[in-house]
Chains A and B, each alone.
Chain A
Amino acid sequence: MSWVFLRDLLSGVNKYSTSIGRIWLAIVFIFRLLVYVVVAEHVWKDEQKEFECNIRQPGCENVCFDHFFPISHIRLWALQLIMVSTPSLLVALHVAYRENREKRHKQKIYKNPGSMDGGLLCTYLISLICKTGFEIGFLVLFYKLYGGFNVPRLVKCDMKPCPNTVDCYISKPTEKKVFLYFALVTSCLCVVLNVSELSYLIFKYTIKCFLKRYDKEVPTLKR
């Protein structure tokens, strides 16, 4: 069980997405998942071992690390990637449900089980709203937990059992800051894509509905 599983699941969703959805998927695969696995994970690899405090008091380093990093950046990032990718599965599940229904009744109920109309459109819109919600939620969480996306070189810690205020040094703060900003930019880009896809779909289907109604009304007026 690894990121490959998520990648394969998401590749299946590609078929039922709009063009903006496919661009979103490409960005998530390449600029988020691939960068995370191949590059970013190694930056945070030995973060606790390399976290050093100017004190010999046993336990002080552990307690300070836990105080300043309740959840490591990299774990939050991984959770964000998982949560943001899973609403797309709703769409795949809905299509599978439609295909299953056609098999059970042994007749063609839908013109094309993968075409975006009616219930599937609602599911797709809900998945977009959930994706955007999760993205913004995690960004807010990052901001609240770490006071922004800045990683300081030095933190001052006065938790017990540290005897006084102790200087603690974080390892590779600049590199971590660069990757956190990278994650922030890609996350914002994905939010923009989701919002534009949502607006595009709502606009398209509102116009379609309006035109259908207009076509029905015009013949009756002519009569």
Chain B
Amino acid sequence: MDWGTLQTILGGVNKHSTSIGKIWLTIMFIFRVMILVVAAEEVWGDEQNDFVCNTLQPGCKNVCYDHFFPISHIRLWALQLIFVSTPALLVAMHVAYRRHENKKQLRKGGQTCEYKDIEEIKLQRFPIQGPLWWTYTSSIFFRMIFESLFMYAFYFMYDGFQMPRLVKCNVWPCPNTVDCFVSRPTEKTVFTIFMIAVSAICILLNVAEFCYLLMKVFLKKSRRAASPRHHPNHETKEESKQNEMNELMSGSCQNTVLGLQNS
């Protein structure tokens, strides 16, 4: 159980994403998850052990570390990645629901051509229109919100993105103001800036995808308004649904109980 699970889940959503969405997913996995796992964990590995305070007072180091690092950078990033990836599940659930509805409809419609159709339903790619458009757009919206919230939380907790070399601590039981030294501050600063930069790029990609989806809908509506009104909206929707069903029901049929059982 590790980041591979997240990759499997998000990989399934990739099929139903726009091109910008696919770029976002690639950046997520290569520049964020992989960097987090491969590099950042080594750098932050012994952060409390190597946090040294200029005092022999027992407990002072623990308390100072807790005061200056309430939640470690690495944990915040991991939580950010998990929260930012989960809106994509909304899309995955919507797609699964549509596939389930299609399967039910086909079963009621025709008893003979089931095996091949269910396989086609499983591989079917839904265009981002109608209710799926709303689900997809909401997922992008939530992604942007989570990214911004975590970036703000980071900035707020650590007063910027730089890791200091020395922090002055006077929390009880430290006897006076005590100098505490952070381990590998420059390396940590470099990784922090890198992760923040990639996070900003991801926000920009999300904004671009959001605008692209909005533009697509507005252009479509204006095209429909401009073209002559032979087919009102609800008829084209029904027609396209019927076309979908016809496409799925055409083709050779194989009568196997296995197909029914597998569904």
Contact of A34 among B1, B69, B71, B97 (CB under 8 A): B1
Flag if B1 contacts A33 (CB, 8 Å). yes
Q: List, in ascending order, chain A residues with CB within 8 A of B62's CB.
A: 50, 52, 153, 169-171
The residue among A38, A54, A170, A172 with the most chain B CB atoms within 10 A of its own CB is A38
Flag if B58 contacts A54 (CB, 8 Å). yes
The interface bits of chain A over 147-190 (1 if a CB of B lies within 8 angstroms of the residue's CB, else 0) are 00000011000000000000111111111001000000000000
Flag if B6 contacts A175 (CB, 8 Å). no
Is B70 part of the binding interface, using a Cβ–Cβ cutoff of 8 Å? yes
Q: List, in ascending order, chain B residues with CB within 8 A of A55's CB.
A: 58
Flag if A167 contacts B173 (CB, 8 Å). yes
Of the listed stretches A1-9, A67-75, A126-134, A202-210, name the one at the interface; the rest are far from the partner chain: A1-9
Q: List, in ascending order, chain B residues with CB within 8 A of A7's CB.
A: 1, 5
* B interface, over-half SS: helix
Flag if B2 contacts A39 (CB, 8 Å). no
Flag if B59 contacts A174 (CB, 8 Å). no
CA distance A165 to B204 in the complex (A): 56
The residue among A3, A30, A43, A168 with the most chain B CB atoms within 10 A of its own CB is A30
Is A53 part of the binding interface, using a Cβ–Cβ cutoff of 8 Å? yes
Interface size range of chain A in the complex: 35 or more
CA distance A23 to B96 in the complex (A): 12
How many chain B residues touch A (CB < 8 A): the figure is 31
Contact of A38 among B48, B63, B71, B78 (CB under 8 A): B78
Flag if B75 contacts A42 (CB, 8 Å). yes
Q: List, in ascending order, chain B residues with CB within 8 A of A168's CB.
A: 59
The interface bits of chain B over 35-79 (1 if a CB of A lies within 8 angstroms of the residue's CB, else 0) are 000000000000011000000011101110110011110110011
Q: List, in ascending order, chain B residues with CB within 8 A of A53's CB.
A: 58-59
Q: List, in ascending order, chain B residues with CB within 8 A of A52's CB.
A: 58-59, 61-62
Contact of B66 among A35, A38, A46, A153 (CB under 8 A): A153
Is B134 part of the binding interface, using a Cβ–Cβ cutoff of 8 Å? no
CA distance A39 to B173 in the complex (A): 29
Is B3 part of the binding interface, using a Cβ–Cβ cutoff of 8 Å? yes
Flag if B58 contacts A169 (CB, 8 Å). yes
Is B148 part of the binding interface, using a Cβ–Cβ cutoff of 8 Å? no
CA distance A55 to B71 in the complex (A): 28
Is A16 part of the binding interface, using a Cβ–Cβ cutoff of 8 Å? no
CA distance A100 to B61 in the complex (A): 61
Distance of A102 from chain B, by nearest CB (Å): 11
Flag if A35 contacts B48 (CB, 8 Å). no
Flag if B59 contacts A154 (CB, 8 Å). yes
Q: List, in ascending order, chain A residues with CB within 8 A of B57's CB.
A: 54
Who on chain B is nearest to A33 by CB?
B1
Contact of B1 among A2, A19, A26, A178 (CB under 8 A): A2
Interface residues of A (CB under 8 A from B): 2-4, 6-7, 19, 22-23, 26, 29-31, 33-35, 37-39, 42-43, 46, 50, 52-55, 153-154, 167-175, 178
Which 4 pairs between the two chains have the least Cβ-Cβ distance?
A: A169-B59, A3-B1, A174-B70, A169-B62
28 residue pairs A–B, Cβ–Cβ below 8 Å: A2-B1, A22-B96, A30-B9, A31-B82, A34-B1, A34-B6, A35-B79, A35-B82, A38-B2, A38-B3, A38-B82, A39-B75, A39-B78, A43-B72, A43-B75, A52-B58, A52-B59, A54-B173, A154-B59, A154-B63, A167-B59, A169-B62, A169-B63, A172-B48, A172-B66, A175-B70, A178-B70, A178-B71
Interface residues of B (CB under 8 A from A): 1-3, 5-6, 9, 48-49, 57-59, 61-63, 65-66, 69-72, 74-75, 78-79, 82, 86, 89, 93, 96-97, 173
